[in-house]
Structure formats: C-alpha cells, structure tokens
Structure 1
Amino acid sequence: MKAVVGDTVIAESDKDDLIQIEGNWYFPPSSVKTELLTESPTQYHCPWKGDTQYYTVNVDGQQLQDRAWSYPTPIPSSFDRVGKDYSGYVAFWKDVKVVE
C-alpha cells in the first residue's frame, strides 16, 4: 500500500505490515520518507493511545499541516487493543491518499 500526494509517494509497505486503527492505516516507520515530514507543534492526547506527534507533509512546495501523525511512545495497554506494538508508526489524513 502507498500513501501519496499527487504522484509523490510518502510511504510504501506491504498491507500485511500496516496496522489499521480506528479506520486509519498506520505505516511502519521504516516505510516512511521522513525527509518529507516536519514535526508540528500541534499536540493531542488520546485517552487510550497516548500523546500524538503530528507532522507537516512537504510535497512539491506544498506544506500540508498536520496531515501525518504517530504515537512515538503509546500507552502500553493499547497494544492489547491494537494487537501489536505500533510505536512510531505513521498515519495520514485528508490530502494524503492511502491506496493499494
């Protein structure tokens, strides 16, 4: 599967390596082109997953604010609910399309 903006691939991995949480696909950290992401100051705390790190996606001169996020150090009890350790996995929103 791929996370793309236009023709630019932001992340790519086998579907079996992704994790789906609450309708969003989370890509393994090693599959993400981190050079296209910049940490955002936006903060959010999920009561069952923990603190979120948001990212701005930078593609073709566009800065897509808060279109990617991860949980660098999730609440350990959430691993049981998700079924796997998803620390650092990255999900995408809105302008970033996840396609097969």
Structure 2
Amino acid sequence: MVRAVWNGAVIADSDDTVVVEGNHYFPRDAVDAGVLSDSATTSICPWKGLAHYHHVTARGQVNKDAAWYYPDPKEAAEAIRDRIAFWKGVEVG
C-alpha cells in the first residue's frame, strides 16, 4: 500500500499506483477529493503532455500546486491518465 501524507494527514492511499520518473501516480478515486482545489498552473512535459495542478489543503494549511495530473496525456503516457502525483513536501511511500 502506497500512501501520500502531508501536514500529518493521509491524502491518498492505494495499492494501484503507476510509477513514472520516480513519482507515484495515484488513481483519482484513491485521493481524498476534499483536500484538492483547482489551480490555474500548468506545465508542459515533452513526452507526457500538458500537466494541470491542484492545491492541497490539510489541517488548515495550503500547499500550493502540490499535486499534478495529465487530463489528456500523450500516447506514451496513457498509463497516467486520470491519476494524480504529489511533490512539494508531500511524503509518498
């Protein structure tokens, strides 16, 4: 079981993650939707496509752009469609 924890709160928990470039991508339904809020931030990966971001809120604190996902990944990254990964201090393991 892989968990994502931030600010002492479990924000995702799954035994079905996809690891790409060292990052665990969780199924969207394994992530606590209540901790996510939309961000206007995007970035481009040459082989995965256009990433979108979420802010993560746990125990009253906001971690801006701490989660990302690819809503329409390129063919080479199809395995991470509708999955969410974390960074910026979110502990995954």
TM-score scaled by length of structure 2:
0.91
Q: Greater Rg, structure 1 or structure 2? A: 1
Task: Give the drift of 1:47.
Answer: 1.1
Number of equivalenced pairs = 92
The residue identity in structure 1 corresponding to 2:75 is P
In 1, Cα distance between equivalents of 2:56 and 2:7: 12
Unmatched segments (≥5 aa) in structure 2: none
Unmatched segments (≥5 aa) in structure 1: 80-84
The residue identity in structure 1 corresponding to 2:68 is W
CA RMSD of aligned residues (A): 1.1
Contact 2:7 2:59 in 1 (8 A): no
Runs of 4+ in 1 over 3 A off after TM superposition: none
Give the % identical residues. Answer: 42
In 1, Cα distance between equivalents of 2:76 and 2:18: 16
| Structure having the larger proportion of residues in strand | 2
TM-score scaled by length of structure 1:
0.85
Contact 2:11 2:31 in 1 (8 A): yes
